[in-house]
Chain A
Amino acid sequence: MSPNRQGFPKLLHIGEILYLFLIALSFYLLFLSRTGEARTVWEVLHPAFIPTLFVTTSLLLTILLASREGAHNLLFVIVHSILIHSLFSIVFPAGDLSGQQMALGRTRLVYDNAILHGWPPWPIETIQSQIYTRFGGINFQAALSVIFARMLSIDLLWVHLFLVPVLGGVFTPIAVYLTTYTFTKNKKVAVLASLLISAFPYATYFGAISVPNSLGFIFFFYSLYFMLKNLDSNDSKTTFLMLAFSFFSLLSHNLTGIISFSLLFLSLAFKSYRGEKSPSITAKISLVTSFILCASLLPFSLIYLRLFRAGTYTAFTLEKFYELPLEEIAGLFLIGELTYGFNLETILLNVIGPALALLYMIYRLYRLKKNPTAEFRIHLFFLSAAFLMILVDYRILKLFMEKLPLNEERLWVFRDFIAAPFVALAIYAAGSSLKTFLKATSLPTISLSSLKALPKRTVLHVLSLIFTLNFAGLRALCKRNSLRILSMLFTLNILIPLVLGGWITLSLSAAYPQVAPLQTTWYELEAVKYIEENTKEKYVVIGDSWTIFAGEMIVGLNNPRAYYFGEYNKTGYDLFVNMKQEPSPQWMLLAMNYTDTTTAYFIVTEPRLGTEEYNRVVTQALQNDDIQVYGVFGEGKLYVFYYEK
């Protein structure tokens, strides 16, 4: 080993220690950003968080690109991944105001043993509906959350908030690494891909919220990995694991399950095609037919979902083509939902990764045509077909279907997962080409170790030019042959990490919403906790949907002992509207009779109603002698009134 090489690990170790310090600082800054009243994370993020994250990510990329170890660096990527998936859970007291609170509302009932046989608590009429609800994903997630909460002896709220950010943060980078490594056998590309998945906003968003769909994505990632492995293996364990992960993907969420099984059938078709010694036209046609069948599985299963789920009216339609102008249809076809009301930055951040992956995929397929005996040929074909299938399915759902039970953009997570390895490959190939080009111009070496060979004064001079962004000065320096090595170092070890680090950091702005309603506040949570802790009798709470979100997180939804109406329950909504218009015991009595309880609470919150409306409701309620004030929270922003039978 040369003296330069001996010094190299030292630099790397210093970089690793610095990275650990910076990531700890990022977590600390995130904890400092924690707030009890905000709409978006962007309102309250510590001003130093994003710059620190940018430096941390760039440093991590420098370590990944400079290091020779692959799996070892994966631990750093995992910590980074947990950080960027934890913004909602750390900043907001009740996580993101979304489906994850609804999921917790249902899980809480299981945790408190308030229901038997899982969600839903009411009887289900048909066998198909029973299958759908029991396999619906919420019960599987509830099982995991409850088991973890009991194992750790901590409240379910904490386990639920961090379930997916931690599981996704740990297992998604590993899945990307393994998938990439399977068809590249390059540890550097694999570890780069495992970090680059964070540059895809939708993948980050779904990794940040604890909903069944997010869990399903994790299992899907592994099912895809085992499908790839199964392409050139006849090991029964691989086949079993491929099936097992696809099954768990289905158990977590029907969307991820359907896509997993669609790709599983496609992979089997590819495997059988590969088995042909010299593929005939018939074999090729059968492969194309398999692709069409697999691609049609999702649209048709959404149509036939009505057999399992009442009130689903998904159908094929050409309405959009009749109603929408051509440019809007073209927009929907190309960038989907991003056509509506998003800025250019968001569009670019959502599109750049998949577009880069698609271009590189086409390039690789073109190269494969010239080299029929290339290694991993079938893997590349399969992944490209899977990517294409997702693109096709998204457009079918977006343009040719209506009344879908979910938003089509969820398909982007599948697309992004397949795209990440190709983006990493493209970047690595570009870096390698640059290396080759610079080597060809008679430069001695291009590694970071070369830095040590240069006089310290020169290094400091160049670094000062880099950090002051004095590119003209740098160019002038680079013209001198002795310093051209530094221009390479700059490009490969500084510029690429900076650009990629900037991309990953910027992607957070598209991953975490810029506009949102007021998240569950600390005083809403405090109020519902106070009611729960101080009420011995069975009670019902009349409140808006925001109160229901807060309440269901603490006592569960439709809990017979502590009743909160469903988020979309009409009776609950009507009772709240009536109470708002005319605060009177009659509505509270009605609620008690309806829910078989003996105490009723009415909650109003100023930021939800608006100051004027809030003041009116509170004044009217205070004037009514039959209704008593139970508590005031948030320095007068929330009133709880009560009435007993």
Chain B
Amino acid sequence: MSGLFQLSKVETLVAQDQKLIFTLASYVLILIIYINLNLPQSPILGLAASLSYFLINGIFLGRAFFEKEPAFFRLMFGVLLLIMLLGFVGWLVIIIYNLDVTRFTLVLFIVATLSSLLNKRVENKNVT
């Protein structure tokens, strides 16, 4: 129960995204993933950055689409939607040209921006 409570607190904090701090954090994570891919190629760094990216954007999408679901399912749905979105944008990029490191970074950026926008839309609705 305390675990779920903690998750709920983290989720609220991320979803509020005050001054777009978590959106910016998401962009920083993309930069870390990009640098890691080009220089140290550390799976541990990659895993840490990717998990954080998934957590932030999963929460954004979970909030945007599954507000009424319990916190656990909201997060899981958010992560699933994020995977779908990454796959879809990645698929489009492959069909248009290819998915090299630069275009891959672009995919992460597009998906993070979309997730943030969708989350902001719901947050603004809730405020009004």
Contact = CB atoms under 8 A, between A and B. Distances in A.
Interface of A: 71-72, 74, 110-111, 113, 115-118, 134, 139-140, 142-144, 146-148, 150-154, 167, 170-171, 174, 178, 219, 222, 237, 241, 244, 248, 251
29 contacts: A110-B98, A110-B99, A113-B100, A116-B97, A117-B98, A118-B95, A134-B95, A143-B87, A143-B90, A143-B91, A143-B93, A144-B83, A144-B87, A146-B99, A146-B104, A151-B108, A152-B43, A152-B47, A153-B36, A153-B42, A153-B43, A153-B45, A154-B46, A171-B80, A174-B73, A219-B84, A237-B65, A248-B87, A248-B88
Q: Which of B1, B47, B98 has the most CB of A within 10 A?
A: B98
A244 B64 CA distance: 15
Chain B: interface residue count, which band?
35 or more
Contacts of B36: 153
Given A144-B86, A248-B84, A153 B37 contact: yes
B11 to A, nearest CB: 15
A251 B50 contact: no
Nearest to B33: A151
Interface of B: 1, 4, 33, 36-37, 41-43, 45-47, 49-50, 53, 65, 70, 72-73, 76, 80, 83-84, 86-88, 90-91, 93-101, 104, 107-108
Contacts of B94: 110, 117-118, 139, 142-143
A152 B54 CA distance: 12
B80 A147 contact: no
Contacts of B104: 146-147, 150
B58 to A, nearest CB: 12
A29 B118 CA distance: 44
B41 A171 contact: no
A170 B54 CA distance: 15
Say what secondary structure dominates the interface of chain A: helix
A117 B43 contact: no
B73 A151 contact: no
A17 B91 CA distance: 42
A152 B50 contact: yes
Contacts of A142: 94, 99
B45 to A, nearest CB: 7
Q: Which of A117, A140, A150, A244 has the most CB of B within 10 A?
A: A150
A276 B99 CA distance: 50
A151 B91 contact: no
Say what secondary structure dominates the interface of chain B: helix
A193 to B, nearest CB: 15
Contacts of A237: 65
B75 to A, nearest CB: 11
A117 B80 contact: no
A150 B33 CA distance: 8
B73 A71 contact: yes
Nearest to B93: A143
A588 B30 CA distance: 46
Contact of B65 (A117, A118, A170, A241): A241
B77 to A, nearest CB: 8
Given A117-B94, A134-B95, A178-B73, 7 more contacts: A110-B98, A142-B94, A142-B99, A144-B83, A146-B99, A150-B104, A248-B88
Contacts of B4: 72
Contacts of A74: 72
B43 A167 contact: no
B76 A174 contact: yes
B87 A222 contact: no
Contacts of B90: 143-144, 146-147
Contacts of B1: 72
A72 B5 CA distance: 12
B101 A154 contact: no
Contacts of B76: 170-171, 174
Q: Which of B42, B76, B87, B108 has the most CB of A within 10 A?
A: B87
A146 B37 CA distance: 12
A115 B65 contact: no
Contacts of B45: 153
A151 B53 contact: yes
Given A142-B94, A143-B99, A147-B104, A153 B46 contact: yes
Contact of A140 (B46, B49, B65, B91): B91
What are the 6 A-B residue pairs with the smallest beta carbon separation, nearest first?
A: A143-B90, A153-B46, A151-B50, A143-B91, A152-B46, A118-B94
A222 B65 CA distance: 14
A237 B96 CA distance: 29
B108 to A, nearest CB: 8
Contacts of A244: 84
Contacts of A143: 86-88, 90-91, 93-94, 99
Nearest to A155: B43
